[in-house]
Amino acid sequence: MSRLAIFDCDGTLVDGQAAVCETMERAFAAVGAPAPDRRSIRRTVGLSLPFAVRQLTNDSSDFDSGRIVEAYKELFRETRMSGALHEPLYEGMADLLGRLDRNGWLLGVATGKSDRGLHACLETHGIKHLFVTLHGADRYPSKPHPAMLEAALAEAGVGAGNAVMIGDTSFDMEMARAAGVRAVGVAWGYHDIEELMNSGASAVAQDMGELEAMIDGGH
């Protein structure tokens, strides 16, 4: 019986906080809009980019959210192409993924990143080959809509009852709940433990050892 562990990317696999915040600030500045504070930016990590920008502008008609989205994409691409992008894997994550793979888990990603950004990130860290299903925000409604998870389950050929979603935001937990998938939170990302639990997490891991036990514990 196949089992599927689906990971969020930013705030779960990699620490991209500085890159996201700096790029969002520059994107707002590029269109002459005042930049949101960093706490507000961090709160939107995990959402698709257009949805995140709309939240940060409060759907204001004073600024064209589409221009901000395009500026962000271009600035982030330039940073990545220049080699200046810093999105380190969280310590111990590569080893954890390797152990899960060897123990028979199928691995996937469901993220608010673009497909291009996700593939570049995983390739940079040499872990892309471990994943059998990869889903970015380009092709789906924003989290917490369950479409990405449903696509991952279908591609991997695994039922919702044999899958687990691992993420750091309430959006991940709510998405999992909507898809009928068990949700496990991680404490090193963008939303706090209480928020993760209130959003549907079965448990929240403080470190990689706890996360491995929680993933295996449901199956």
SS3 162: helix
Please state, in angstroms and as integers, the Cα–Cα distance from residue 13 to each residue in 8, 9, 78, 212, following that order: 7, 5, 22, 13
| Catalytic option among 8, 15, 168, 172 | 8
| Catalytic option among 10, 15, 168, 172 | 10
What residues contact residue 196 under an 8 Å CB cut-off, 6+ apart? 168, 169, 170, 173, 185, 187, 204
Q: Residue 75 and residue 34: Cα distance in Å, rounded?
A: 17
Q: Residue 41 and residue 26: Cα distance in Å, rounded?
A: 12
Distance of CA 82 to the CA centre of its chain: 23
Q: What is the phi-psi region of residue 92: left when phi exceeds 0, alpha when psi lies from -120 to 50, beta otherwise?
A: left
Is 8 considered catalytic here?
yes
Q: What is the CA radius of gyration of the chain?
A: 17
What are the start-end ranges of the E strands in 48-151? 105-110, 133-135
SS3 9: coil
Catalytic residue ranges: 8, 10
